[in-house]
Structure 1
Amino acid sequence: MSAGHLYLFTRASLFKSLILMRRYLFNTVAQIVSMYMLFAVMFFGGQQVAGAAITESIDGIIVGYFLWMLIMSAYSSIAGNITNEAQWGTLEQLYMSPLGFDRVVGVKTVVNVAVSLLVSTTLLVLMLATMEVVSGGVALSLDPLTVVPIVVLTLAPAVGLGYIFGGLALLYKRVESAFQLMQFAFVGLVAAPVEQFPLFKFAPFSLGSYLLREAMGQQKSLLELPAADLGLLVAVGVVYLGIGYGAFRFVQRTARERGVLGEY
């Protein structure tokens, strides 16, 4: 397998995802609208309950919601892809690919996250436009040189957890109900107060969420963020991703030994 083959497969997967979004435009728009409606319910409902307090913390809510959507996409894409391939009866064919099953899964995950970033950015623009109309705007920095590295490192643990549930999908085929429960835990981790409880920095997503709020909400560049926190963010991302991938390889080998790869 050459780098050229990997590039062609990545490009084809990206084009396929974009074509499907355009082909099923109604579903794409409905997805964005439903996510926007959830934000609207949180904001306007929160205003009725908490009054000015919700407006004062709206920048953190927007950043947290934006990050949570990306985390859910990165986390669920691996198990979702494996479940779909098993349903279609094409899972075993992926193992015969010259790229190898692991690379196919990895490329599809990267493509899904990239497409999700496009959708989430669209929603972010809608949320900022809403705040501009309702409360005079929210000052958020959108510097890609700062935001993109933090987002990528924060999503690494989500991919690691996705690998774990992807491995479980190889064994048990249907794991949607189990991994959907995790989305509530993700909300807590994204909103965790790492300033008051520093141990949360070692949990997935918490430190990344804090740094992203600092970068976007406080208009800080990547170089203005604490170097120790950035180093820890890299370490946390690598560790959780490595653990998840290792667990995926172990469960994958177990599924082969049991002969259940082609079953559904």
Structure 2
Amino acid sequence: MSAPTVDDAAAADGAQPDERDAGVLLLVWTILRMNFLLMVRYRVNFVAQIVGMYLFFAVIFFGGQAAVENVGEGGIGSLGSTLDALIVGWFLWTMAQSAYFSLSGEVTQESRWGTLEQLYMSPYGFGTIMLTKVFVNMLLSLVMGGIMLALILLTTGRTLSLDVITVLPIAVLALLSVVGIGFVFAGLTLIYKKLGSVSQLMQFVILGLVAAPAAEFSVLNLLPITQGSAMLQEAMRNGVRLWEFSAVELAVLVGTAVVYFSIGYVVFQLCSHVARKRGVMGHY
């Protein structure tokens, strides 16, 4: 028997649609609050993540600047558009890593705590809870990306176009395709449990996708996050507005986001079914 959903619970107790909506909003608030409390409780880990990513960028930036000066090509100004491309790519990679790892991390954490099976008994349904977690994790990923971008811009002294109406939708749609990959590994984690080593390798795959030369090889735009990365570069470096992109570019961005997210979610649901059938859902 499948887990009850929000609609099933509402039908059982005669709840009205607005009451169901209020219940979902309460679920969003509860998960958001839980994530915030965990972030505060393990603040050293949260700060270490940001500092680690920042120091990694700083090594590349100052190392590149020193190399340019040593060959007599000037200072930071000589890096020009290359540096801007690096900043935008790093901004997106930071958010993508957070969105990807948070999903598989949620599954591992719930399994370790022994609360994973209890999510299936929730009146909201396991799928609704996981989608809500994805929404909350996306918000936190955007916050982390914003913090990283601010630190990098302060360090480099560069300025970029930060039109929220353009940058936010592109970033969210780009991240959705990565979330789809996260769903796949989260599902595999339900069955095979410890996949840390394999999962860690994905950060380099994501980095490669962010840096992929989509402008030179258009077929690469069909890969996860690649189209979003190319459009984000145009938006933040050249000031291109959302409505100035072609219909084809927007269609590919939305299409890849929907397709990869949907495939990932379907794989996750199939893996959860297999895990329950094998009786390993709550094992760690």
Q: Which range, TM-score by smaller chain?
A: over 0.9
CA contact 1:194–1:206 (8 Å) conserved in 2: yes
CA shift at 1:31, angstroms? 2.7
What does 1:237-256 correspond to in 2, within 5 Å?
A: 237-256=257-276
Within 5 A, what are the aligned runs for 1:1-264?
A: 1=6, 2-50=20-68, 54-132=79-157, 138-264=158-284
How much does 1:29 deviate?
Answer: 2.9
Distance 2:183 2:50 in 1: 26
Question: 1:74-119: CA deviations, max 9, x gaps?
Answer: 1122211111111111111111111111111111122122112112
Query: Kindly, what percent of the aligned residue pairs are identical?
Result: 46
Deviation of 1:226 after TM superposition, in Å, equals 1.9
| Paired residues, number | 259
Contact 2:214–2:226 (8 Å) recurs in 1? yes
Distance 2:215 2:39 in 1: 40
CA shift for structure 1 position 204 = 0.8
SS of the residue corresponding to residue 199 of structure 1 reads helix
Distance 1:206 1:50 in 2: 29
Q: Which runs of 5+ in 1 are unaligned?
A: 133-137
Which deviates more, 253-262 or 228-237? Answer: 253-262
Q: Deviations over 1:15-70 (max 9, x none)?
A: 22223333444443333222211110111112234556644411111110110111
Task: Sort the Cα spacing of 1:83 and 1:26 in 2 relative to 1 into closer, same or farther, 3 A.
Answer: closer
Q: CA RMSD in A?
A: 1.6
Unaligned runs of 5+ residues in structure 2 are: 1-5, 7-19
- The 1-side partners of 2:142 and 2:218 are apart by 28
Of the two, which has the highest radius of gyration?
Answer: 2
Distance 1:3 1:67 in 2: 32
Cα distance in 2 for partners of 1:229, 1:56 equals 22
SS at match of 1:248: helix
Label 1:82 to 1:120 Cα distance change in 2 as closer, same or farther (>3 A): same
1:80 to 1:23, Cα distance in 2 relative to 1, 3 A:
closer
Counterpart for residue 12 of structure 2: none
Please give the alpha-carbon distance, in whole angstroms, between the structure 2 residues aligned to 1:143 and 1:157.
22
- The answer on whether the counterparts of 1:194 and 1:210 sit within 8 Å (CA) in structure 2 is yes
Q: Secondary structure at 1:129's aligned position in 2?
A: helix
In structure 2, what is the Cα distance between the partners aligned to 1:241 and 1:25? 30
C-alpha distance in 1 between matches for 2:208 and 2:137: 24
**SS of residue matched to 1:57:** helix
Which of 49-58 and 166-175 deviates more?
49-58
Structure 1: 4+ residue segments shifted above 4 A: 50-53
Superposed CA deviations along residues 184-205 of structure 1, whole A, max 9, x for unmatched, are 1111110111111111011111
Segment of structure 1 superposing worse, 205-214 or 123-132: 123-132
Partner of 1:135: none
- Counterpart CA distance in 1 for 2:202 and 2:51 is 23
- State whether residues 194 and 207 of structure 1, in contact with CA within 8 Å, keep that contact through their aligned partners in structure 2: yes
Change (3 A) 1:146 1:258: same
- Between stretches 104-113 and 200-209, larger displacement belongs to 104-113
Distance 2:49 2:220 in 1: 32
Task: Choose 103-112 or 233-242, whichever is displaced more.
Answer: 103-112
